[in-house]
Each structure stands twice: as C-alpha cells, then as structure tokens.
Amino acid sequence: MKNKKRIWEIPWGYKESIAIVLGIVLVGFLLQATIGKFDFYLLSYPFNLYFEILSFAFIVLSVYLKRKAFFIWFTSLSFSVSIIGAITFLSIIMGLTKQVPIVDRSNIFTLLGFNQMTSSWEFILIYFFLLLSLGCTIAKRKPRLTKQYFAFLLNHLGLWMILFFAGLGYPNLNRYVMYVEIGETQWRVYDKDSKVVELPIAIQLNNFTIEEYIPKLTVIDKKTGEVLPKDKPIYFQIDTNSKEEFSFNGYKIKLKEYIHNAVRSSDTSYKEVPMKASCPAAFVEIRNNNKVQSHWISAGNKMQSPMFMDIDSNLALVMTP
C-alpha cells in the first residue's frame, strides 16, 4: 500500500503553497498593524533600480537552479494558483471597500489596510512574490522556435512587464497643483509640500466649463440630521421632465418647480438669476391624506443659506448639495 505524503514533505504541493501564502498575508497584516502602510517612495530612483537588479539576479539564478526543490515549487502550478488566489481575494476586498487617501486606523478594517489596499503590506508582499514567481516561470521555459512558445512568451512576459514596471514606476510619478484663470498663462505649480515649482512648459487656459448634476431630495431626522431610513437611506432624484411623485411613509412628495440657478427673492421664495452666487432650488408639494403643504427648499451654498421643509415634528425634506 502506498504511503500517504505528509505535509512539508518534498515535493511541496497545494497544502504547503496555501500555508506559505497565508503566512505571507499574515506577515503583511502584522506589518500593516504595527508600522502602517507601505511607503512607495522608498522605491523611488535609484532604489527602484537596485530592486530591479536584485529581481533580475534572482530570476537568472532560478534558471541555473531550476532543478532544485525550492525553484521547482516556486514555479509550480500549486504556488501560482495559491498566490493568484490571494491577490484575487485582496482585490475583491478592495472592490467592496471604500478606498480613501487618509484613514484613522480606528477599527480592524482600517488597521489592516483594507481602505488603502494597494499600499498595504499584505498586498505589496503578495504582489512581489507574484512578480518573482511569474518571472522565474518565464525564464525556466526552454526557448523554441514554435508558435506555442511565442504565444506563451507574449502572454506571460507581457503580463509580467505590465505588473513589474507599473509598480516600480509609481514612486517616480510627481503630482502638482496648478492654479490658472481663464485667459491667463501659467507655468508655476505647487508640489505636495506646497512649494512652488517652475515647469519647462506653460499652459494657457482659453475656456473652462463644468457640468453640475441636478441634486436629489431626501428625508432626514430633524434631531440627528440622519438620512432616513437609517438602515437604507433613500434619495429621490429630481427629474425636471417627468416631475414624478415620490412616496415616503405615507407622504406623497411632488416636484412643482425647479430652478437650477436660483437666488432667494424673499424669506420663502426663489427666482432664477444666472450668477456665481446662485444655487439649485425646488418648489415641492407634500400631501398626507387631505393635508397639503408646499414650500421652497434649497441646498444653499457659501453665499446662500440652505432651506428645508418641515414634514412633521420629527421629519424634514431637504436637498442634497
């Protein structure tokens, strides 16, 4: 009877690969929780060049040692599937979690870097091992003048180059902020430290337009300001064409008039005035049984105070910014 292979017995398979990948992810979680997110600018020039040289040296070494047990496993299907599964899982978390530039690390999700996935240690480590494994897999393939080999090379090498150079090129990406008025020519920008930098080119702004979306209506709790219902807030999109009727807890809400560029003409009314200080305003009717009430509401702006409509002692109808 054939003896059953024990875990960690050479050659390694799926059990060992999954265990090692989970260990890598766990190390990433520990680094993320203790020292914070990975600083990509640590790999800015010339350190990204050093990293490239070391990576190429490791890949070349794998060609000469491809018969060793470690490199057989490192380029095996079991490790490839495990590492791809890990980066897929982390990508799903990234897709389902709001990604923000700054986190307060106040809960387990932000502490483990789920809100900054691409700069989290677990993602970086998995990304790094995926690059090395893919590179070694490409290098160990014996070159042949066949269609199958060229198809393999174009497929795998193309993917490796995209992942490799996109990751290492990110730290050398510089972002600046430029302030320029219409008709003005500007060549000075501000870096991330608010220092002035002069560019070798100048930009002239001839025209500028911005398209604003029509706001929405929603019902809030007047005491807490929370949008209702709390478990699943409802927003009513204003449609100036159909002026359809909305329902909320027995109340019928109907749009009677909408002005996108409105200025308050009295304490309770608005008129259309296309100017910088204008803001959206809507005349709304609310019916409940035989009771009918109507009022102007507006989101307001820096120049005009917002206006809301009382529904009852607890509820109010407001317009979103």
- In a domain? residue 134: yes
- In a domain? residue 35: yes
- In a domain? residue 65: yes
Predicted TM-score (pTM) of the model is 0.61
The per-residue pLDDT for range 241-285, each reduced to its tens digit, is 777 788 888 889 998 999 999 998 888 889 999 888 899 999 999
Nearest residue to 284 via CA among 246, 235, 227 = 246
178 and 161 within one domain: no
CA distance 89 to 71: 25
181 and 163 within one domain: no
CA distance 44 to 47: 6
238 and 161 within one domain: no
- In a domain? residue 2: no
- In a domain? residue 264: yes
- In a domain? residue 1: no
CA distance 285 to 253: 6
In tens digits, the chain (321 residues) has pLDDT values of: 556 778 888 889 999 999 999 999 999 999 999 998 888 777 777 888 888 899 999 999 999 998 899 999 999 999 999 999 999 999 999 999 888 877 777 788 888 989 989 889 999 999 999 999 999 999 988 888 888 888 888 888 888 888 888 877 777 778 899 999 889 999 999 988 889 999 999 999 999 887 778 899 999 998 888 999 888 888 988 887 777 788 888 889 998 999 999 998 888 889 999 888 899 999 999 998 888 999 999 988 888 889 999 988 889 999 988
The position carrying tokens 């809400």 is: 253
275 and 178 within one domain: no
Q: Which long-range contacts (CB under 8 A, 24 or more apart) does 205-212 make?
A: 205/180, 205/181, 206/182, 207/182, 208/182, 212/260
221 and 114 within one domain: no
153 and 86 within one domain: yes
- In a domain? residue 97: yes
Q: Are 246 and 217 in contact (CB under 8 A)?
A: yes
- In a domain? residue 116: yes
30 and 157 within one domain: yes
**What's the mean per-residue pLDDT of the chain?**
88
Number of structural domains (the chain) is: 3
| Residue 185 neighbours by CB distance under 10 Å | 10
88 and 19 within one domain: yes
Helices (H), 113-146: 121-140
200 and 163 within one domain: no
137 and 22 within one domain: yes
73 and 179 within one domain: no
CA 300 to chain centre: 29
178 and 167 within one domain: no
CA distance 124 to 267: 57
The position carrying tokens 């005009």 is: 304
Q: Are 28 and 125 in contact (CB under 8 A)?
A: yes
Structural domain including 263 reads 216-319
CA neighbours within 13 Å on the CB side: how many for 64?
5
Q: Is the dihedral of CA 149, 154, 157, 159 positive or negative?
A: negative
